[in-house]
Each structure stands twice: as C-alpha cells, then as structure tokens.
Amino acid sequence: MSGRRSTILLFPLYPYLRGDGSCCRYERADVRYPFRLQLLGPRGRTLVVRPRKIARFRYAARVTFRVRGRWEIRVANYYSSGRDEKATIRYHGPRLWVTVR
C-alpha cells in the first residue's frame, strides 16, 4: 500500500556450472561491494537506495512507496555502456516489477 514502509531484501548468489556442464547451480555469495537499487516510479521519478548489510549473505533497504502504480526495481550495479560513455548506457541486470496499491 502506498505510504507504508517496505523492506527490500537482497540475497546475492554466485552461478556455477553443474557437474554435467549445464547451468546453473547457485551458491550464496558473501560480497563486499556496495549495492545500489534504483526504484523507477510510475510517474517517471527515480529513487536511489543503498541497502545495508544486515547479516552474512543478506542486505536490506527500507523504502516508502508514496505513489500508487507499477514500480520497477533495478540493481544499479549492472549498467554498461558502449564505446561512448555519454551516448549509450544500457541496463543489463535483474528487474523486479512491483504494483503499489
């Protein structure tokens, strides 16, 4: 519901090939780099949130969705660009869609 505080939990995983060569077997990852989340709102507003480490293998961010509608949550560590840094920046990471009522 809009106006209520929510918690976004992150559980980082490493992908490994299985013994037969197929993909993927996931194992928990104890990463040491800072995560950044982008929350793209239904009206075009973007919020940046930095989750904090709350336990081994677990990060959390508290956020309040003030606007109803469909929000897109992105891990902002997954941006890459082509040759020209200013011309093209593409997002290549996981996306999560959340509908706030």
What residues does each domain of the chain span? 5-100
- Flag whether pLDDT at 52 surpasses 90: yes
Task: Give the pLDDT mean for 58-87.
Answer: 78
Residues in the chain: 101
Is residue 18 over pLDDT 80?
yes
pLDDT at 23 over 90: no
- Higher-pLDDT residue of 58 and 78 is 58
Stretch 3-7: mean pLDDT: 92
Global confidence as pTM: 0.75
The top-level CATH class assigned to 5-100 is mainly beta
Most confidently modeled of 5-14, 74-83, 87-96?
5-14
**Dihedral sign of CA atoms 5, 12, 71, 39 in order:** positive
